[in-house]
Structure 1
Amino acid sequence: MAFNGGKTHMRRKLSAGVLMALVLLIPAAPAAAQAETSGLDTACQTVERKLYTDIRELVTIDPDTAADAEILVVAKQILAAAKADSLPVLPRAMQERLEGTAEDLRAFLKKGMNTAWTADLRISVTRTLTGAGANVQAAAQKVLDNGTIDASLAYLNEGLYAARALDCASQPTPSATPSATPSATPSATTTATPVPSSSASADTPDGEGGGLPLTGADTGTVAGVGGALLLLGGAGYLIGRRRRSRFVA
């Protein structure tokens, strides 16, 4: 009897140790499934891929024979993975079962979980059609027609990025020449406006400032005035001489 009691005690300790190890693995399981891999987004920019967890791999127990504590640990692992993948249906459904009885949770793991998860994957595939190119649209539609979990996961983790790479490669490369030419042309071909010379230097009374000599009608006027002055001067000289001769006589 004592031996049997000791074996029972050892089994309880072993179960408690396994339970503690599983609890510690809860936050690590989704992180391990999310491998860091690069891919292209809808704008053809390189980003880190969003990799979806295969939740079936988290169910490492037989829901029919597992203890309630083991069912609870697995359910929490699945909930953490579903939240990390931003799934809309499964996290809410799992949380409701966690708040219910152990039998409800066990039944959900056996059947309801895959139903909710399949709906989530289908929604995730449909979301990739927003702004998608021809290759992504064709690949996504093929998966939606198939409807299986394996096809959805393969598309979301690999096929989507392969199809998007084809769409990005088929886009024409924009040329920088048209945008550069208009901005450079006006500055290179602009005709300099001649600056008019100041008229002050030509109009100065003393002739300084480098003005051009007077020609045409202005020259004739000056010559006429000069001739008249010479005649008046000669006449004045003769009149003065005659007066002087009379005075001497």
Structure 2
Amino acid sequence: MEHPSGMHGMGSAASFADTAGAVLFIAWAVAMWVAVAVLAYANRGPVRPWLYKTAVGLIGLGVVGQIGHFQEHVAQAAYWVAHPNAPAWMTPWANGLARGMGQVDMTKPSLGMEILHLTGNFIFLAGLVGIVQITRRVAGHLKSRKWARMGVWMQGLHGLEHVVLTLSVALGAGRAIGLSTWFGLMDPGPALVTYRVWWHFVANMIGSVILAIALYHLWREKRMVRAAYDEAEEESAPAVHGRIKREPALVGRP
């Protein structure tokens, strides 16, 4: 993946659809992390009616994003199996998004591809954080929370790898620098393509399996999780009604 200009379609100019897709994809990631911040802050206080549904939506968007993300890596691995000595390859829709994102600096041909994978990984990470957040109010041990935390750590490290890869290209390095490029020491060619394609395929496969296990346990524990929100709402309701009843008594006092 070191020479995106050699990828099919990467050398052409970005179309309006490429640009719009890139903007929407980045907006998707930003919206998810805004939701993560809101949930993390709101979960420190009393339960609110929208907390549970927001967490469910966050998880759902993360799952959808990772399905698309992982299928891209599956497609790349399949292409490598058929063409092991060919230049790096991405699907047409990934190429379009990369072209759109690459417009931030046209002098760095691989920057759009790096931003694309960075964005996809942070969408995945936000979904895993959503599982941690939705189970936060449940006391005791939850398998879903255990697996989600494992996924957050694993995907957090994977995301950090993409941050380093993206920054190295953005700051002018001739090659992307990271674990998946052997810190830029491997020469461009089939060996580097092979190493990077399979490095990221395996990393995403492991992360996807962890996500699937966390979701499986979350489904089994959903009543316990939902009950924690319902109980918290019931506990906070008397306090709210008490304030409402006391307020009229204050009217007319000097």
TM-score tier (shorter): 0.3 to 0.5
Larger Rg: 1
Q: TM (normalized to structure 2)?
A: 0.36
Which has more helix, going by share of residues? 2
Which is bigger in relative contact order (C-alpha 8 A, separation at least 6)? 2
Q: TM (normalized to structure 1)?
A: 0.37
